[in-house]
């Protein structure tokens, strides 16, 4: 194995903000600390307004008005841009943990934030709807630390491969990304947090490497995966590593790339441009992830801990899940959204109800009914600094 020298660098999953903006999914602008936010208009009394620093996919825009109707609470939402490393820095080194009451972040950072005293554990006795979440979601280990629930998995999904069927035929394996027939027509995201686990899943499930957990590789395992990716890159397998959703969409729309690992919403964006694109059901399994609701220490200083718990229970009660499914194509992992849509026929027409039901069923099927496994994305694997170092070297190779 070639020894890779250590180069300190930073990289993590890229922002989805621009994707949401183009699809018209970001809420209206407001200002909080000079930064654009989406919020429910109303008096910003400390005991009536919650401030959330979360991934843009969690924002439901003007639908937050329902929070005022149901709980008498207002919401100010700031998109954290989903880049986990900088978010952690803003939480620990800067003042985001104090300035906001709630967070919404890819699961895996809970232990680090809890150790730093920046988030508080949830009191599950105050969130009865937590017990209605799918059992395996309640057991996601990244959301817990020292036996306490620090993250509530409000959204779950599983990512895989986007492809152009007219160019590739049906794709059901990550092998397509590394298939020499598609040399120069393949791409992966320029982010170790996603591309390394996809490659590790492929190598493990095809018995090309002995790997225990693709989402949390040991040092020797990580070197094997990175050597494989480096060889693929040097051999010209990838047209390039795509950076930012706009480039990913553009590469597929133009036909420059036929197959790539990526986010499911990109499929919808490409289809909106009139290009036939599909999302693979890979026989090796998916990369699973959760976006978790965090309770910031700022909620305690503003006496909003009880209100935050009421909000968390509300998010799991149905209306929020319906809005999320219709706007994002993502789901709250329980059956409450389907039940709510059926019970509130005046609010949701037949097409909406069908969409909500299909979306929930799609995610449920990914995790529970497919033949392959789901390997969980870990935003803070134990060797995450080595991940960053080796990814920097891969970029320069």
pLDDT digits (tens, 9 = 90+) for 375-394: 988 888 999 999 989 999 99
Query: In the prediction, which pLDDT does 10 show?
Result: 29
pLDDT at 164 over 50: yes
Query: 151 has which bridge partners?
Result: 294
The CATH number covering residue 181 comes to 3.40.190.10
Are residues 152 and 116 located together in one domain of the fold? yes
- Region 190-215 average pLDDT: 95
Are residues 165 and 265 located together in one domain of the fold? yes
- Region 52-77 average pLDDT: 93
Are residues 107 and 135 located together in one domain of the fold? yes
State the DSSP string of 247-310: HHHHHHHHTS-SEEEE-HHHHHHHHHTT---EE---TTEEEEEEEEEEEEHHHHHTT-HHHHHH
Are residues 31 and 123 located together in one domain of the fold? yes
Average pLDDT, the chain: 87
pLDDT tens, residue by residue, 218-234:
999 999 999 999 999 99
The verdict on residue 326 lying in a domain is yes
Number of domains in the chain: 2
Are residues 35 and 72 located together in one domain of the fold? yes
Q: Model-level pTM?
A: 0.78
Are residues 237 and 379 located together in one domain of the fold? yes
The verdict on residue 12 lying in a domain is no
State the DSSP string of 220-241: HHHHHHHHHHHHHHHTT-EEEE
The verdict on residue 57 lying in a domain is yes
Range of the domain at 389: 159-287+372-396
Q: Strand, coil or helix: what is 105?
A: strand
Total residue length of the chain: 397
In degrees and rounded to multiples of 5, residue 279 shows phi and psi of -115, 125
Are residues 259 and 389 located together in one domain of the fold? yes
Are residues 282 and 294 located together in one domain of the fold? no
From residue 297, alpha-carbon distances to 56, 184, 294 in Å are 21, 48, 10
pLDDT tens, residue by residue, 141-153:
889 999 999 999 9
Q: How confident is the model at residue 11 (pLDDT cuts 50, 70, 90)?
A: very low
Query: In the prediction, which pLDDT does 371 show?
Result: 54
Query: In the prediction, which pLDDT does 41 show?
Result: 38
Q: In this structure, are residues 351 and 263 in contact, taking their beta carbons and an 8 Å threshold?
A: no
pLDDT tens, residue by residue, 258-295:
999 988 778 878 998 999 999 999 999 999 999 999 99
Are residues 260 and 336 located together in one domain of the fold? no
Query: In the prediction, which pLDDT does 370 show?
Result: 59
The verdict on residue 10 lying in a domain is no
Q: How confident is the model at residue 55 (pLDDT cuts 50, 70, 90)?
A: confident
The verdict on residue 7 lying in a domain is no
Q: Residue 106, CB half-sphere, CA atoms under 13 Å: how many?
A: 27
The verdict on residue 31 lying in a domain is yes
pLDDT tens, residue by residue, 303-315:
999 999 999 999 9
Q: Please state whether beta strands 119-120 and 285-296 pair in parallel, antiparallel, or not at all (unpaired).
A: antiparallel
The verdict on residue 1 lying in a domain is no
Are residues 326 and 281 located together in one domain of the fold? no
The verdict on residue 83 lying in a domain is yes
Contacts (Cβ under 8 Å, ≥6 apart) of 123? 309
Are residues 148 and 67 located together in one domain of the fold? yes
pLDDT at 23 over 80: no
- The Cα–Cα gap between 215 and 217 comes to 6
Query: 37 has which bridge partners?
Result: 30
Are residues 235 and 363 located together in one domain of the fold? no
């Amino acid at each position: 194995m070639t020894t890779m020298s250590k180069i300190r660098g930073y990289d993590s999953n890229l922002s989805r903000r621009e994707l949401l903006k183009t699809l018209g999914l970001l809420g209206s602008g407001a200002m909080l600390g000079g930064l654009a936010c989406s919020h429910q208009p109303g008096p910003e009394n400390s005991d009536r307004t919650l401030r959330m620093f979360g991934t843009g996919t969690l924002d439901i825009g003007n639908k937050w008005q329902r929070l005022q109707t149901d709980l008498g609470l207002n919401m100010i939402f700031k998109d954290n841009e989903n880049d986990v490393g900088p978010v952690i820095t803003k939480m620990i080194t800067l003042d985001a943990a104090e300035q906001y009451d709630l967070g919404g972040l890819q699961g895996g950072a809970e232990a680090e934030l809890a150790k730093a005293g920046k988030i508080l554990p949830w009191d599950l006795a105050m969130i009865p709807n937590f017990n209605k979440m799918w059992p395996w979601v309640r057991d996601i280990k990244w959301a817990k630390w020292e036996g306490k629930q620090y993250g509530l998995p409000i959204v779950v999904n599983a990512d895989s491969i986007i492809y152009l069927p007219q160019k590739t035929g049906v794709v059901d394996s990550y092998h397509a990304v590394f298939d020499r027939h598609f040399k120069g027509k393949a791409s992966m995201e320029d982010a170790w947090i996603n591309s390394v686990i996809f490659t590790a899943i492929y190598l493990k499930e095809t018995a090309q490497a002995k790997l225990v957990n693709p989402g949390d590789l040991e040092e020797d395992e990580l070197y094997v995966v990175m050597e494989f990716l480096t060889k693929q890159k040097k051999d010209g397998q990838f047209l390039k590593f795509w950076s930012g959703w706009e480039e990913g969409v553009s590469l597929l729309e133009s036909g420059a790339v036929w197959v790539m690992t990526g986010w499911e919403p990109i499929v919808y964006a490409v289809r909106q441009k009139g290009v036939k694109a599909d999302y693979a059901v890979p026989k090796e399994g998916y990369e699973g992830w959760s976006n978790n609701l965090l309770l910031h220490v700022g909620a305690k200083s503003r006496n909003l801990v009880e209100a935050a718990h009421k909000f968390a229970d509300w998010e799991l009660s149905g209306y929020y899940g319906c809005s999320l499914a219709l706007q994002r194509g993502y789901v709250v992992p329980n059956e409450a959204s389907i039940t709510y849509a059926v019970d509130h026929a005046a609010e949701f027409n037949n097409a909406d109800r069908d969409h909500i039901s299909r979306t929930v069923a799609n995610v449920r099927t990914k995790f529970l009914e497919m033949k392959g496994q789901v390997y969980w994305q870990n935003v803070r694997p134990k060797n995450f600094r080595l991940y960053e170092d080796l990814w920097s070297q891969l970029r320069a190779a």
